[in-house]
Each structure stands twice: as C-alpha cells, then as structure tokens.
Structure 1
Amino acid sequence: MSSETSPSTVREPIRIGATLSNQFRRLTVGGARAVAFWAAIFLPVAYIPAVYGMGPFEGATATLAVLFAHIACVVIGHGHNRPEEV
C-alpha cells in the first residue's frame, strides 16, 4: 500500500479554489460597478443643494467633493452591464 496521492487529486482543491476566487472577484467587481453606475445616475441630484449651500453642503469643498465623487462613479461604473467578450 502506497501513501502517495496522485497529482490530479492534489491539484483538484487548487482548481476549485481558483474557480471560487475568480467568481468572487467577478461578483465583487460587478457589484462595485453596479453601485457606481447607479450612483452616477442619481448623484447629480446633489448638485443643486451643493451649489446653493443648502443642508449639509456648505462651502466650495462640499461642491467639489460631490463633483469628484460623481466623476469617480462615472469612471468606475462605466463598464456596468456590458456584454462579456468571449
């Protein structure tokens, strides 16, 4: 009786782990893109109070923060719901 394991049984958990890692990465990136996409759509509503200094938006820094957040959301969410290339 040999205590050696075949190479295929040793590599199986590595393959499963790599597959799970790729799926997790795909779902995480896809979720972040979806949130950024929808934030980019609804974030312009915050421009009006930011420009007029209403509510929690007081000063030019708040207006710039909303602008930069919107730009970041547009860049990150740009690839949302794009058909995957083969």
Structure 2
Amino acid sequence: MSSQTSSSSIRAPIQIGSSLSTACRNKAIAGVRAAAFWAAIVLPLAYVPAAYGAMGFDGAWSALALIAVHAACIALGHEHDTPSTHA
C-alpha cells in the first residue's frame, strides 16, 4: 500500500494566501459599502443645520462639501446588500 496523496487535494500556500486575501478584500469592500449606504441615509439630516449655518457650517463651501460627501456615499453604497438569513 502506497500512501500517495492527490496533488489536487493539497493546496499550495500561495493558493491559500490568495483565497484568504480575496476573502478579506471582499469583507472590507462589503464593510465600506455598508458604511457608505447608512451614511447616505443619515447625511440628509445635516442639510437643515447647514442651511442655517449652524453646527460649524460656514458658507457655501461647507454645504458643497456636504453635498459632495453625500453624493460619494450614494455612489459607494448603492450596491450594499444585507446578508440573507435564509436557511
């Protein structure tokens, strides 16, 4: 009896590292998308204080920055998908 191991059942360390880095990258992207999605939902609440110049919003530049950040959050978070809990 020879104890031969199939080469297809043994994964090289480079394959393990590659799949691990891909999994970590996918989790990081999902986290950024989730944060951007929820920020895009909450950011419109800051428009009212910005319109009245309250809470440190001084002038048009800060209002434009708020709108730009909101647009960026919408663009980044538009593909956010909640994890399914189906069994």
Q: TM above 0.5, one fold?
A: yes
* Aligned length in residues: 76
Structure 1 runs, 4 residues or longer, greater than 4 Å off = none
- 1:19 matches 2:22: no
In the TM superposition, what whole-angstrom CA distance separates every residue of 1:21-69 from its partner, at most 9, and x where no partner exists?
A: 1001100100000000000000000000111111211110110011000
Question: Deviation of residue 82 (structure 1)?
Answer: 6.7
2:73 is matched with which residue?
A: 73
TM-score normalised by length of structure 1: 0.81
**Which secondary structure state, in structure 1, belongs to the residue aligned with residue 12 of structure 2?**
helix
CA distance in 2, matches of 1:34, 1:55: 26
Gaps of 5+ in 1: 1-6
- Which amino acid is 1:65 matched to? A
CA RMSD for the aligned pairs?
Answer: 1.9
Match of 1:40 in 2: 40
CA distance in 2, matches of 1:78, 1:31: 13
Q: Aligned partner of 2:63: which letter?
A: T
Instruction: Choose between structure 1 and 2: higher helix proportion.
Output: 1
Gaps of 5+ in 2: 1-6
